[in-house]
Amino acid sequence: MAQQPEKKPTESFKEKIKEKWGLIAGLILLLIIVSFVNGLVALLLFLAIVFCPKFTLVEEGTVKIVVRLGQYSKSLISWREHTIDEDGNVIKGDEVHLLGGLRFAGFYWIDDIYQYKFRWLSLELVDGQEKIVFHEKQLDYIFVRPDVYPVEQKGAETKPPERIALDNVWLATIRVVNPYKALFRAPSNWNENVLSKLEALLRGWVGMHDFDEILNILGTKKSAPWDDLKDEDLLVEKFEKEWGIKVEEKGIEIKKVTPPKYIEESASRQRQQELEAAGTAAATVGAVIAQMSVARGKTQKEIQVEIEKDDNLKREFLDIAKDLTIRQMGIKGKAYVDIRVPEGTGGLEKTILEALAAFARMPTGGQSSDQQGEGGKKDKQSKQGGEREKAIQQGLRVLGLE
């Protein structure tokens, strides 16, 4: 069996060197791969932290503003059948959101929801009474659906020469139509500024009307003062176009009018006199009809029907009723009463009051002063009698009986 030749020491050493270098190279490559993987993982973690998706919940009827590194980025709206156009206006339209009010806001660290301090007034029921309540709150949203805000007004003078200082409460229905303009173009706290300027505008409107005109508007569905103010530059150019705030159609109404104390006392006395006059007229109608019923041998219902149909009988009835009413009020001491027909009065009572309303004053035959002579008394009585006769004739003409 042939023997193999022995390897030379130099060749064996070279092979060992190659094996060692191969091992070292493998380790280095492994280290490079591990380092690369770790770096990639670290990079991915870093990117995940920096660009982590950020979500926010937007309530129905509101908008949230997203700012990126302090600058306006976009508006997120949640209001059925509404969307926001390229100019930031709230318009009719549909947005599809599978997760309801949940919206993608951007990325953490670079995108934020804009927050601001908001102050406003509301009319609330407190202890059974309506009161204006002040609110102040840090908000991260803005209402875009219509809302009603009270406008308190002190000492607004009516039309000259009347100049009655009134304390009024108005209600303004307002809606944000461009959230970006309302928050970044309008003065700080848009609500306070809008209502302050609106109060000044309404003060001018009060100064062009008298007290009775304003009272006639109170509690009615009349469109004043909207018809007078709807085309004002303040509402159209300043509020809506520049600040993104819209006063809704017919969105200004007067809620409460408080006149000075002396006006309230005078109105209370006037109302009491009107009610007493109506009561006296009603009682007189019953008494006169009963008297005529006995005289003619007919029922009171039959007499009342005949009075309504027969002008001559109506004239006779009015003569008796007016005389009795005037005498009754004179006996009760209700001198110089300005009679107005109260709402809800009807039938023959209204007929009497309408005739009596022709009197500018109703003399009761009150005593004259001690300094007045007997001749003066007779002249005064004669004058009063003439005035009364003229007033009766005027009342008959108003009723179409003369």
The pair of three-digit structure tokens given for residue 198, joined into one six-digit string? 């609106």
- 232-244 b/e (C-beta count within 10 Å ≥ 16 → b): beebeebbbeebb
Overall average pLDDT of the 362-373 stretch: 42
Annotate 167-220 with three-state secondary structure. Answer: EEEEEEEEEECCHHHHHHCCCCCHHHHHHHHHHHHHHHHHCCCCHHHHHHHCCC
Residue 97: which pLDDT band, with cuts at 50, 70 and 90? Answer: confident
Q: Name residue, tokens 């109105």.
A: 267
CATH class of 119-132+143-259: alpha beta
Three-class DSSP category at 156: strand
For the packed helices 374-398 and 311-331, what is the interaxial angle rounded to 10 degrees?
140
- Stated as kind and residue range, the H or E segment containing 268 is helix 261-296
Do 281 and 353 meet the contact criterion of CB atoms below 8 Å apart? Answer: yes
The 10s digit of each residue's pLDDT in 229-273 is 988 999 999 999 999 999 999 899 999 998 888 877 776 676 666
Residue 359: which pLDDT band, with cuts at 50, 70 and 90? Answer: very low
- Stated as kind and residue range, the H or E segment containing 90 is strand 90-92
pLDDT value of residue 99: 87
Do 177 and 185 meet the contact criterion of CB atoms below 8 Å apart? Answer: no
Q: What are the CA-CA distances from residue 158 to residues 28, 162, 189, 263 (Å)?
A: 95, 6, 31, 13
The pTM score is 0.59
In the predicted structure, residue 289 carries a pLDDT above the cut 50: yes
In the predicted structure, residue 221 carries a pLDDT above the cut 80: no
Rounded Cα gap, residues 269 and 264, in angstroms: 9
Residue spans of the domains in the chain: they are 53-113, 119-132+143-259, 270-398
Identify the top-confidence range among 12-21, 160-169, 274-283. 160-169
Rounded Cα gap, residues 397 and 402, in angstroms: 5
